[in-house]
Amino acid sequence: LTVAVLISGTGSNLRALLEAASDPSYPARVVVVGADRMAEGLQHAADFGVPSFTVPFREFASREEWGAELADQLRAWQPDLIVLSGLMRLLPRDVVAEFAPNIINTHPAYLPEFPGAHGVRDALAAGAEQTGASVILVDDGVDTGPILAQERVPVFPGDTEDSLHDRIKPVERRLLIDVVRRVATGELDLSHPA
Ligand code: GRF
């Protein structure tokens, strides 16, 4: 299975996937990494010899034009699966339409709890005693797609956004690597994710 990963930040989930995919027995490989800015995580692609591209959001007059360029870049690689892993942008509707259902997203909360760009902060602000990590199918909404995998993560007293996120990320990575494996083996059919 060929995978394109889109990031905006440190790319720790990307790195985990790159490491998993460097095992010849893992049934998927990352063929390209894309970012909406000069993301730190692009270095992981370079470390693993994986091509990358950036489509800087701020260089485009609209989300739609940004999305059109992103779609052009992705289309060139013909990936079987697109993984949004820390991409902090909503994809325009027609980009989702072009690649769905082969787009999945990782989210640091137990969806449908705490969707959106600040899931970790929102869980803390809500005083939640547990939150989680989720891998979902991307649809037109914000973190509203069918849930492919999720797991609870405890919140401890005194947690900060960073300490909680650091507890969530390893769970997120494990779920992501397993979901991609299951898609690659055909065990998980994204057209019928139930
Ligand atoms: C991840 O928790 C991802 O789910 C969320 O932002 C974080 C990105 O972390 N959207 P990284 O860039 O993979 O380190």
The residue annotated as part of the active site, out of 44, 107, 118, 165, is: 107
State the pLDDT confidence band at 58, using cuts at 50, 70 and 90.
very high
Ligand 1 geometric centre to CA of 143 (Å): 14
Is 173 annotated to bind ligand?
A: no
For residue 77, CA distances in Å to 51, 67, 81, 105, 116 come to 10, 16, 11, 19, 28
What was the pLDDT predicted at 193?
85
What was the pLDDT predicted at 180?
98
Is 102 annotated to bind ligand?
A: no
- Choose among 173, 190, 194: nearest CA to 182: 190
Ligand 1 geometric centre to CA of 72 (Å): 24
- Whether 107 is a known active-site residue: answer yes
For residue 116, CA distances in Å to 87, 140, 144, 172, 181 come to 11, 13, 10, 16, 26
Q: Which atom of ligand 1 is nearest to the CA of 10?
A: 12
Give pLDDT tens digits for 115-125: 999 999 999 99
What is the ipTM, given to two decimal places?
0.94
Strands 103-107 and 130-137: antiparallel
Find where tokens 């996937």 sit.
17
Report the nearest-CA residue for atom 2 of ligand 1. 108
**Are the CB atoms for 100 and 91 separated by under 8 Å?**
no
Share of the chain above pLDDT 90, in %: 98
Average pLDDT of the segment spanning 78-82 = 98
Residue type at 180 in one-letter notation? V
